[in-house]
Chains A and B, each alone.
Chain A
Amino acid sequence: MIDLLSNLVAVSGSARLIVDIAMYFGLFVIVAMALNFQYGNAGVPNMGCAVQVIVGGFTVSAITTRLTFWIIGQAGVEFLPYTSDYDWVYNNFRNVSVLANGYLKDNIMLCITLLLFSLAVSLVLGAAIGWLISVPAIRLKATYLMITLITMADASQIIGRNVVAISGGTIGVFVPNVFAFYPGDRTVVMATLTLFIGLISFFIFRTMLNSPYGRLMRAIRENEITVGSVGKNVVGIRRNILMFASGITALSGCLLAFYFSYVVEANYQRAFWTYWPWLMLIMGGPGNNAGTFLGTALVVAMRRIIIVSKWYFDKMLFFPISYFENILLGSLLLIIMIFRPSGLIPEKLLYIPGINYRKLVREEVAVDWRTTTKTRGGAGKRSGIFGRKKGDS
């Protein structure tokens, strides 16, 4: 990766494949970790990852692109008209590729600001959409929640296809290249950035899971009625989890838009952004980040290698290889569910740093009821509900 970063020519051949796998690994690890946070740890079956990813992508196309036009327009660059639907799509290529990117080339600060702005806005909008999703469905049974979320993923794609002002409908729009100042291959920087954001979100998720809130989440997964009975707001906690994880998931859609420098709704299909992350999660083992990493790496590498070597397969087969790929991965998921129900790396018992478990276990044995019954009422031992000595009153 570092070799590739210092190499300032367009990458090709096997280096291209490595960059591609790294980029997709970064994108999917963010989604899969967020999913692990929701399903593996809190038991919220979010079948609508595609909704949040699409929100991230649409943030870049609808908000960042217009903001870029406005800022650069203020600086004196004459843009072709872009207010009507027709102009928005028709003049898009010249507006973005020639005028906006030409200006961004010399303004590193503006580029970085735009990138951070898009990431922040997609985080906020993703959380907002998570809240919106939670309104009808969070109180319901898990199966109803899944039905609603799958439906919403389809709905968001239909809206993106038909409302041209968002992402140019079926044609799609180009978005400003925020790495226009970088003389080498933009995709290498994007891949590095995505992996870096994936690493940051890994640390955030790990910290959250080791906190008291994380233990509360696991308690909800195990038995929500018990958690509710001790006075915790189960619906509120679930909504918070859905909102937080939705925000992180939206980052991945935003990064994908910048990777392609292009947004079209077909890039954010439900099958692609819901089914694959779930496959990764189930394959690696829910409830544990190492498993998520392993599952993501395996699935992404397999898919990219199949896609890249498509031409060799298509000569031999009478059908497009993508259908065989679906059959392969669909049966893989079923086989793993049947033969390794807890995934390739099963979930380990939660270890909280700072607690001496050995001591805890030893103490528990000491207060075992079988041993205490013998000494009940004995000299110096307190018993009864109020801990009074027997002959006190």
Chain B
Amino acid sequence: MAIAAIWTAALVYAAEITLLSIGFTLTYLTAKIPNFAHGTYAGFGIYVVYTISRIFHMSPYIGFPISFFIGGAVSVLVYIVVIQVLSRMGSGAIVLTIATLAIQIFLTSALYIYAFWIRTVYSTYTIGFLVKELDFEFMGMPGILPVSVSICVGTVIVLHYMLTRTKTGIAMRAVAEDTELSSVLGIDTNRIQLFSWFLTGGLAALAGSMMPLWFASSPATGSFMITSIMAASLLGGFTNVYGAVIGGIGIGFSEIILTFYLQQTVGVWIGEYRPLVPMIVLVAVLLIEPNGLQGIWERIAASDTGQNLLKSIGRGEVE
């Protein structure tokens, strides 16, 4: 069962963007800020996989759980050292967003310094690398394809279970709805925030650790992906995690498949404009429906045809 390389790339990329935009949306819901450093956490995943596979000569897949915990630790550290302090001082969303921009530049430079340090100590190349040759083969497919897709699907299922069934998940949703009211009900909002930052950082680093198995990676790769992540989250509507899943799949696919087919029909030169795809989506969403797919869904559900459709599948009236 051979799959064309372009579809592998699209699937892997869509899985990564989905994981990243889930985290971005969760941060936006709980902390109410767009975290520009979110893409950079993926860089930590990339360099954990690099260290595991190139320095310790082990399978890159061993790096996946390690990068999850390292990414979570970095994210929690960012929250405790900067975000928590600033929000206790009463800083607004704009100041916090600028702080995340500073964190992004700080973390990217730290990753570059780490890459240069490895290069000096071990005399290998560390920037723009691939670990494709260490991947295993599964039914004629490269191993990263089933692994990334199943990680993505598994994350969505686990997250759905967590957010609807477990106490922590329900508390998290309550905090996202109204922080003050949920603290009145006895939820330790600080603990929930810590947990949410750990989860988002871990998911981002996990997404980043899939990166070098199919795409050339460097410390700035994660930072470059932030536009796609924001476009995916905005397409999903910034209001729930499921929107981010659909947005991530949509952006990930359209960025690679759309560019590929446009290159075949219009001309090769159009490939240079690939980063514009998420930007155009972003501006179009803001112009047409600022609440993204969530807004469109609500609009359809409120109309007569939408109500009839919902009745026919047995959902009845939706509020």
Contacts and interface: CB of A to CB of B under 8 A. Distances in A.
Contacts of A112: none
Contacts of A323: 109, 112-113, 116
B91 A331 contact: no
Interface string B72-115: 00000000001001100101011101110111011011101100
Given A326-B105, A327-B106, A282 B98 contact: yes
Interface string A42-54: 0101000000000
Say what secondary structure dominates the interface of chain B.
helix
Nearest to A325: B109
Given A326-B106, A327-B109, A155 B276 contact: yes
Interface string A366-385: 00000000000000000000
B101 A275 contact: yes
B272 A162 contact: yes
A136 B287 contact: yes
Nearest to B269: A162
A144 B286 contact: yes
A151 B34 CA distance: 13
A193 interface: no
B175 interface: no
Contacts, number: 114
Interface residues of A, number: 41
B259 to A, nearest CB: 13
A278 to B, nearest CB: 6
A271 B223 CA distance: 12
Interface stretch (A113-121, A238-246, A333-341, A344-352): A333-341
A320 B98 CA distance: 25
B234 interface: yes
Contact of B282 (A151, A278, A279): A151
B283 interface: yes
Nearest to B107: A330
Interface string B165-180: 0000000000000000
A326 B110 CA distance: 9
Interface in B286-311: 286-287, 290
Contacts of B86: 337-338
B102 A333 contact: yes
Nearest to B105: A330
A137 interface: yes
Contact of A154 (B89, B97, B120, B227): B227
Nearest to A146: B97
A313 interface: no
Contact of A326 (B99, B109, B279, B282): B109
Interface of B: 33-34, 36, 82, 85-86, 89, 91, 93-95, 97-99, 101-103, 105-106, 108-110, 112-113, 116-117, 119-120, 227, 230-231, 234, 269, 272-273, 275-276, 278-279, 282-283, 286-287, 290
Given A282-B98, A338-B89, A341-B95, 4 more contacts: A136-B283, A142-B94, A154-B279, A326-B105
